[in-house]
Amino acid sequence: MGESREPWDLLPLTPAALHILLSLADEERHGYGIMREVEERTGSKMRLGPGTLYGSVKRMLGDGLIEESEERPDPELDDQRRRYYRLTDFGRRVAGAEAGRLEDLVSIAYEKKLLRESGAHGLPEGT
Amino acid sequence: MNEEPDRVSSVSERVYQTLLFAYPKGFRREYGAQMAQTFRDLYREERRRSGKFRVAGLWVRTLLDLIATATVERSNDRKQNGEVIMGDRRLAVVGFLLVSAPLYFVSASLLKYGLGVGLLFDPLEAFLSVAQRREVFNLVSPVVFLGGLGLALTLNAYSVLRMNVGREEGVVVSTVRLEVKLLNLAVIAVGSLLLVTLLGYVFLENFAYRY
């Protein structure tokens, strides 16, 4: 589905979509697992509600960024009714393209002295 | 996850499952069970970490999320559904039927008392010359005229107005968009004019200074 398009056709991603892609970059997860991973990774700065999560999942499945995993975990370890999601190759390329786009933006912010090379939050002194 | 749910959490889960009806049917069928399960997990986690405040915070976040995303999903569903145009036209027809009674009454009155043309008003006056009919008319007409106009305006406003509530950098932002659907807009324009005319008439009849 996504193979006929280029990754940058889908940029910029919404913050929720990018966080979901990042969450699935290292392993497949179910919805609640994605929520917890995003919350922990961002220090609770980003909390996905069920509506935001599954609305994004629906669109990302439609765009071919993620797919439902057919493998189910050991029933003793987890609820068999849960649906697990994983990144597609196209989704991985889109996540990479979005990260590159953000990297470019951050470079411009450094050039324009909006960010420092190091320090808390990278903000310049006096802000 | 294996612990027995207590009564409060099962009530909360049932409330959330009911609130899922805010989403379009297709979305609910596809993701409703997963969303309910995710909410259940979130709720139990918040209860475990404890505090009523944490649970209250979860409810606030969940409700804001539900309002924003259900609005978006419904809007997307309407855009993708080919039957929408038919639905909007049907709303316009229903709207015209609802405004037809007050439209007839106001037009007949204006023609009679403004231009002296009794073409529309005289048959009505003859019909209402019977005391019993006049009593029924006085009782029913405010409900039919004002209620019908209110309903026609509400239905057609629903058809042309799109509301979107979302969060941008932690701030809740709402936008209202007007879609140009001529039939529905015509009903709104005619309905609004009639409503203003009727309310103006009621005001003048009851509150105007009399010499």
Q: Over range B177-186, report the average pLDDT.
A: 85
- What are the pLDDT digits (tens) for A71-126? 766 566 566 678 999 999 999 999 999 999 999 999 999 999 998 776 555 555 55
The pLDDT-based confidence of B7 (bands split at 50, 70, 90) is: low
Q: Which of A23-27, B40-44, B203-207 has the largest mean confidence?
A: A23-27
Q: Is the pLDDT reported for residue B5 higher than 60?
A: no
Q: Which of B2-16, B35-49, B63-77, B83-97 reaches the highest mean pLDDT? A: B35-49
- CB-based contact B33 A81, cutoff 8 Å: yes
Among B29, B54, B65, B165, most A C-beta atoms within 10 A, so best to mutate, is B65
Q: How confident is the model at residue B1 (pLDDT cuts 50, 70, 90)?
A: very low
Average pLDDT, chain B: 82
Inter-chain contact B41–A32, Cβ cutoff 8 Å? yes
Contacts of A52 in chain B (CB under 8 A): 65, 68-69
pLDDT class of A2 with cuts at 50, 70, 90: very low
Give the N- to C-terminal CA distance of chain B in Å, as an integer. Answer: 79
> Which pLDDT score is estimated for B124?
87
The sign one gets for the Cα dihedral B194, B200, B206, B211 is: negative
Cβ–Cβ gap A55/B69 under 8 Å: yes
**Cα A110 off chain centre by:** 24
- Say whether pLDDT at B180 is over 70: yes
Interface test with B, best of A58, A77, A78 (most B CBs within 10 A): A58
pLDDT confidence of residue A82: 86
Choose, out of B37, B39, B79, the residue to mutate when testing the contact with A (most A CBs < 10 Å).
B37
At B86 the pLDDT is: 56
Confidence label for B169 from pLDDT (cuts 50, 70 and 90): low
Whether the pLDDT of residue B83 is over 60: the answer is: no
- pLDDT tens, position by position, B133-165: 888 888 788 778 888 888 888 888 888 887 776
Question: Do A31 and B66 lie within an 8 Å CB cutoff?
Answer: no
Query: Do residue B23 and residue A51 have CB atoms under 8 angstroms apart?
Result: yes
Judged by average pLDDT, the poorest of A10-14, A107-111, B129-133, B204-208 is B204-208
What residue spans of chain B are helical by DSSP H?
7-19, 25-49, 52-80, 84-110, 121-127, 131-142, 148-160, 182-207
Does residue A29 surpass a pLDDT of 90? yes
What pLDDT, on the 0 to 100 scale, is given for residue B75?
Answer: 78
Distance (Å, rounded) from C-alpha B97 to C-alpha B93? 6
**Stronger pLDDT, B71 or B16, i.e. the higher one:** B16
The answer to whether the Cβ–Cβ distance between B38 and A50 falls below 8 Å is: yes
Provide DSSP, A77-123: TS-TTPPEEEE-HHHHHHHHHHHHHHHHHHHHHHHTTSS-SSSGGGP
Q: How far apart are CA B75 and CA B69, in angstroms?
A: 10
Mean pLDDT for the stretch of residues A11-26: 96
Q: Is B171 on the interface with A (CB under 8 A)?
A: no
